[in-house]
Amino acid sequence: MRRAALATGLALAALAAPAARADLPPLVTGVTDNDTAERSPEGRPLAYERIRAARASVIRVFREWSAIERVKPPDLATARNPDWSGYDWGETDAILRDAAAARLRPLLSFLSAPAWAEGPGRPPVSDDAPAGTWRPSPAAYAAFAGRQA
């Protein structure tokens, strides 16, 4: 009797369980490992290979906005031009090329606005208001990141 009740309960549970949907894309797995991106160009391929071996397909890469856009662009149109001479994309490009060579999709995230893009009334730099964090200009960030504000 107990076996019949257990079998019936399992059968009902199996019927009630949601079936896998064939029309849904597979789960995308990624990692955030800035130490990997910051490694030497010689060290990144092995690190990326290990990330792929862990079955990840995305790597999140953090870069400093202030290290790429070191001088204030004369206007927003100039800031929207990724080829503007005021940008230093060299290291970022190398990191992204290495990720692509490892068949990883990079998810690029920017931190730390340049001082000129911070908002008015900035208090002294402190643990409560680190450099690059005081009310950054949405328009300047949008222009830098390639979007219209």
Whether 120 shows a pLDDT value over 80: the answer reads yes
- Per-residue pLDDT of 36-85, as tens digits, reads 777 788 888 889 999 999 999 999 999 999 999 999 999 989 999 999 99
- What integer pLDDT is reported at residue 22 of this predicted model? 72
Q: How far lies 125's CA from each of 82, 103, 116, in Å?
A: 29, 40, 14
Percent of the chain with pLDDT over 70: 84
**Taking 70 as the threshold, does the pLDDT of residue 5 lie above it?**
no
29 vs 39 pLDDT, higher one:
29
Is residue 73 a contact partner of residue 86, using CB atoms and an 8 Å limit? yes
Confidence of residue 34 (pLDDT cuts 50, 70, 90): confident
The 3-state DSSP class for residue 144 equals helix
Mean of the per-residue pLDDT values of the chain: 85
State the pLDDT at residue 111: 94
- High-pLDDT (> 90) share of the chain, %: 63
pLDDT at 3 over 60: no
36 alpha-carbon distance from chain centroid: 13
Task: Report which residue type is found at 44.
Answer: R
Query: What is the rounded CA–CA span in Å between residue 66 and residue 45?
Result: 26
In this prediction the pTM is 0.74
pLDDT reported for residue 10:
47
